[in-house]
């Protein structure tokens, strides 16, 4: 039987050229593994198997008990058509009131950890330390206490995109001082919760966050500043992350003994052919995605190829300096080494090729800077989201790449998931398959030396999918009935499958539970 592990990082970087033949081979190898004896490898006891959510996507209670407005609250009230189905996060899955049920769900799953985010304006209503909202503190304290009482480790994100509106109006992440305010917020959160929370994620996905806000202008504050805002925002988020890290390091680490990292979105790029150009394209893709954030933290500066490409494009476009502002030596030193672990949000892979036709872009843009084109293999199983297809070897390759490129850092997969359409019922077989296949890839990567220490499925329950709304994409292990004011949660098949994996520590591809018949869950 062919084993996935024969594809080391080197081979991961190369494409399965003459696409079809090797692709078929690779796919076959994965399928053979998937249906074969997968129980050989086991997750160690201390491996954190859990699930993830974020505040705005599930909490609701948008103005409850003194919570202030975030950029999402403000814009989705003012301009509801930002969201395709005109929904918003006012109530969402109502976890502000139903957190006890969420913890019960985690218990049902046997989850060892829960990744959730704190809403900045629930703690600091206007974003500043002028007023600390005791009700916000009390809410998260109750949640954390409940989790710990059930031996579920909290992994807490400080910032999952819900910027206080006042800061957004003041330039948002294009304004470096937002990072100073973030530091002050982080200090309060560390101070209040740090005796109980030992895993902190400063910011979630700077790359997607910045591109949706400032490159494409599809997330509030809808500011299109192509080829400029994206880099500036990313730079300021890196500095803000480093600020929070140093505050923890200097003021809290000794007494609290926790860890601080950040979560990055990372697809796996596969070269579309074995031409030198396409192999270079893969390296460029990695530099523009994870490299833009990981290199300053793990290597002390931006990747050279990122710097050179943006500088060259800027010159062509007649800019007097590069649109990517370099870090000063002081800033480089400040950012370098500021992660005790890295969180990876991985959903899919794609083929990448050198596309010089985008080079002619006269106006600055991220895409023009990369000169890359991408596509996917239509045979990869498709989710409800066009781009999200199952190709689990991509996660294996990504973990191997991180190991080899960044001295094997501690990694948590802080998001990985596969949305279904609302039409699909509780029998979400494709999601259950995706979950098993990706967990298998994690096990394979661990066997080959990856320092991956945990995995958080996205998402625990169905939530608001940002500008795509509430209705279209169902990421939850648990379905949430949005027609029911009580927001009833019901386990899908994927939840039962995950429960079994967590319980046994192994992956059984033949286990086929019935989500309509399980008496141990609250479905019946």
Positions that interact with ligand BGC (CB under 6 A): 54, 57, 204-205, 208, 265, 345, 415, 458, 465
Q: Write down the least CB distance from residue 453 to ligand BGC, Å.
A: 20
Contacts of 295 (CB under 8 A, 6+ apart): 287, 301, 302, 303, 306
| CB-based contact 224:214 (threshold 8 Å) | yes
Which DSSP letter does residue 415 get?
A: E
Q: Write down the least CB distance from residue 465 to ligand BGC, Å.
A: 6
Q: In the complex with ligand BGC, which residue's Cβ is closer, 181 or 219?
A: 219
Q: Write down the least CB distance from residue 415 to ligand BGC, Å.
A: 6
Q: In the complex with ligand BGC, which residue's Cβ is closer, 208 or 319?
A: 208
Catalytic residue among 59, 69, 390, 415: 415
Q: Write down the least CB distance from residue 114 to ligand BGC, Å.
A: 15
User: Would you call 415 a catalytic residue per the annotation?
Assistant: yes
Q: In the complex with ligand BGC, which residue's Cβ is closer, 302 or 418?
A: 418
Q: In the complex with ligand BGC, which residue's Cβ is closer, 94 or 278?
A: 94
CA distance 88 to 64: 15
Q: In the complex with ligand BGC, which residue's Cβ is closer, 33 or 345?
A: 345
Q: Write down the least CB distance from residue 337 to ligand BGC, Å.
A: 25
Write out the DSSP string of 426-441: S--HHHHHHHHHHHHH
Inter-CA distances, 290 with 206, 267, 514, Å: 10, 9, 39
CA distance 194 to 248: 9
User: Would you call 69 a catalytic residue per the annotation?
Assistant: no
Please list the alpha-helical segments (H only) found in 36-152: 55-58, 71-78, 95-109, 120-123, 134-149
Catalytic residue among 205, 267, 390, 465: 205
Q: In the complex with ligand BGC, which residue's Cβ is closer, 222 or 319?
A: 222
| CB-based contact 471:85 (threshold 8 Å) | yes
Q: Write down the least CB distance from residue 191 to ligand BGC, Å.
A: 26
Write out the DSSP string of 29-42: HHHHHHHS-GGGS-
**The pair of three-digit structure tokens given for residue 320, joined into one six-digit string:** 């007097």
CA distance 309 to 365: 12
Helical (H) or strand (E) element with 204 = strand 199-204
First to last CA, the chain: 42
Write out the DSSP string of 488-521: -EEE-HHHHHHHHHHHHSS--TT----TTT-SSS
Please list the alpha-helical segments (H only) found in 320-428: 329-335, 366-370, 393-405
Q: In the complex with ligand BGC, which residue's Cβ is closer, 23 or 201?
A: 201
Q: Write down the least CB distance from residue 151 to ligand BGC, Å.
A: 26
Annotated catalytic sites, by residue? 205, 415
């Amino acid at each position: 039987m062919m084993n996935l592990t024969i594809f080391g990082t080197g081979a991961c970087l190369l494409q399965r050229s003459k696409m079809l033949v090797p692709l078929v081979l690779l796919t076959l190898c994965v399928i053979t593994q998937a249906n074969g004896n997968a129980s050989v490898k086991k997750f160690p006891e201390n491996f954190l198997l859990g699930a993830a959510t974020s505040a705005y996507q599930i909490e609701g209670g948008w103005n409850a008990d003194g919570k202030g407005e975030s950029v999402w609250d403000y814009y989705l009230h003012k301009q509801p058509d930002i969201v395709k189905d005109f929904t918003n996060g006012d109530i969402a899955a109502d976890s502000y009131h139903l957190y006890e049920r969420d913890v019960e769900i985690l218990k049902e799953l046997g989850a060892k950890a829960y990744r959730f985010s704190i809403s900045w304006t629930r703690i600091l209503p206007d974003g500043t330390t002028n007023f600390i909202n005791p009700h916000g503190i009390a809410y998260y304290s109750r949640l954390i206490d409940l989790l710990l009482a059930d031996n579920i480790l909290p992994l807490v994100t400080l910032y999952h995109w819900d910027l206080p509106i006042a800061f957004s109006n003041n330039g948002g992440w294009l304004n470096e001082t937002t990072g100073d305010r973030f530091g002050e917020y982080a200090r309060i959160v560390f101070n209040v919760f740090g005796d109980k929370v030992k895993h902190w994620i400063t910011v979630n996905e700077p790359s997607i966050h910045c591109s949706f806000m400032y490159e494409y202008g599809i997330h509030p504050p809808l500011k299109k500043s192509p080829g400029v805002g994206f880099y500036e925002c990313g730079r300021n988020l890196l500095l803000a992350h480093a600020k929070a890290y140093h505050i923890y390091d200097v003021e809290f680490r000794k007494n609290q003994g926790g860890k601080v990292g950040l979560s990055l979105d990372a697809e796996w790029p596969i070269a579309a052919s074995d031409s030198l150009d396409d192999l270079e394209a893969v390296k460029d893709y990695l530099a523009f995605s994870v490299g833009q954030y990981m290199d300053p933290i793990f290597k002390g500066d931006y990747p050279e190829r990122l710097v050179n490409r943006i500088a060259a494009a800027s010159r062509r476009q007649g800019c007097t300096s590069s649109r990517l502002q370099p870090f000063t030596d002081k800033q480089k030193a400040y950012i370098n080494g500021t992660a005790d672990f890295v969180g990876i949000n991985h959903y899919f892979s794609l083929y990448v090729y050198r596309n010089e036709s985008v080079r002619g872009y006269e106006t600055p843009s991220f895409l023009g800077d990369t000169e890359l084109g991408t596509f996917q293999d239509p045979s990869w199983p498709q989710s409800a989201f066009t781009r999200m297809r199952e190709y689990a070897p991509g996660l294996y390759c990504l973990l191997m790449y991180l190991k080899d490129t960044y001295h094997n850092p501690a990694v948590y997969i802080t998001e990985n998931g596969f949305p279904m359409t609302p039409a699909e019922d509780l029998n979400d077989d494709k999601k259950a398959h995706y979950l098993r296949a990706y967990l298998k890839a994690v096990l394979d990567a661990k066997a080959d030396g990856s320092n991956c220490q945990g995995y958080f499925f996205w998402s625990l329950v169905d939530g608001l999918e940002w500008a795509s709304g509430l209705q279209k994409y169902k990421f939850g292990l648990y379905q949430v009935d949005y027609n029911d004011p009580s927001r009833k949660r019901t386990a899908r098949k994927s939840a039962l499958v995950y429960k079994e994996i967590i319980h046994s520590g192994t992956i059984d591809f033949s286990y086929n539970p019935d989500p309509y018949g399980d008496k141990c869950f609250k479905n019946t």
